[in-house]
Amino acid sequence: MRQCVSYGRTCPQAARWAIRPRRDRSRKLPRKEDLRVRRTRTLLREALIDLIGERGLERVTVGEITERAMVSRAAFYRTYRDKYHLVEQVFDEAMDALFGTVGGDERPPRERWTAFFEHIGEYHRLYGALLGRKGSPWFADRMRGSLAAMVTEHLAGPGPCSRASADGLVPTVLGAMFVQSITWWLEHGRDMPPDEIAARTGEMAAALLRRAGADPS
């Protein structure tokens, strides 16, 4: 315990200093600004999903989004250029989550597609709003293109698979089929489990691949 030099006795303040633990500077708490930005983005995304379901994307304005989210327009424009930029970020986040679920997975195809539909079910409000009747044709086109690109990558390499995807028709058709399966499943209230809709979609995809002369596995 630290001693007071001039008096040779214990100094109460020195004692408090002696037992105070050193701060671990390697542990950094989240910045309040970062937490506020994440909260703002979440509120704007949820407001966008609600409004698309009510009015459709084309009729929704930035003012309506910020009012529903109870966020200032200034806060909106600090992050996004316009409502389409917001939708684009939602799309990118959705695709990151989707390909993180399916891509690079060594499990059998049926298990991978079950995981795919489990992801869709988890984010059903997002996909339902953007793929529904009042949703965004742009979003649907982007999703079809992304899934077609995934099929093209899966079929890449020498052999019949490569020939089946050479002109892009098979990946394009499969990408559209996957999106339509998602839309159908959501519109019917997800009344069958993910493994069943995955199996039915996989059977249709395998039939198309066999007809195109590719190995569906």
User: Residue 18: what pLDDT?
Assistant: 45
Secondary structure, 3-state, the chain: CCECCCCCCECHHHHHHHHCCCCCCCCCCCCHHHHHHHHHHHHHHHHHHHHHHHHCHHHCCHHHHHHHHCCCHHHHHHHCCCHHHHHHHHHHHHHHHHHHHHCCCCCCHHHHHHHHHHHHHHCHHHHHHHHCCCCCHHHHHHHHHHHHHHHHHHCCCCCHHHHHCCCCHHHHHHHHHHHHHHHHHHHCCCCCCHHHHHHHHHHHHHHHHHHCCCCCC
> Which tens digits make up the pLDDT trace of 67-80?
999 999 999 999 99
Give the percent of the chain with pLDDT over 70.
72
pLDDT band at residue 126 using 50, 70 and 90 as cut-offs:
confident
Decide which of 139 and 22 is more confident: 139
Phi, psi for residue 148 in degrees, rounded to 5: -65, -40
Q: Which two tokens stand for residue 191?
A: 């009344």
- Let me know: does 171 contact 154? Beta carbons within 8 Å: no
Which residue, 95, 97, 103, 112, is CA-closest to 217? 112
Residue 148 and residue 164 in contact, taking contact as beta carbons nearer than 8 Å: no
Q: What is the pLDDT of residues 87-124, one digit of tens each?
A: 888 778 777 766 666 655 566 777 878 888 888 898 89
Instruction: Pick the more confident residue, 48 or 101.
Output: 48
**Are the beta carbons of 83 and 65 closer than 8 angstroms?**
yes
pLDDT at residue 162 in the model: 56
The structural domains of the chain, with segments of one domain joined by +, span: 84-211
Yes or no: say if 198 and 116 are a contact pair by the CB < 8 Å rule. Answer: yes
Residue 129 sits at the vertex; the CA angle it makes with 128 and 131, to the nearest 5 degrees, is: 65
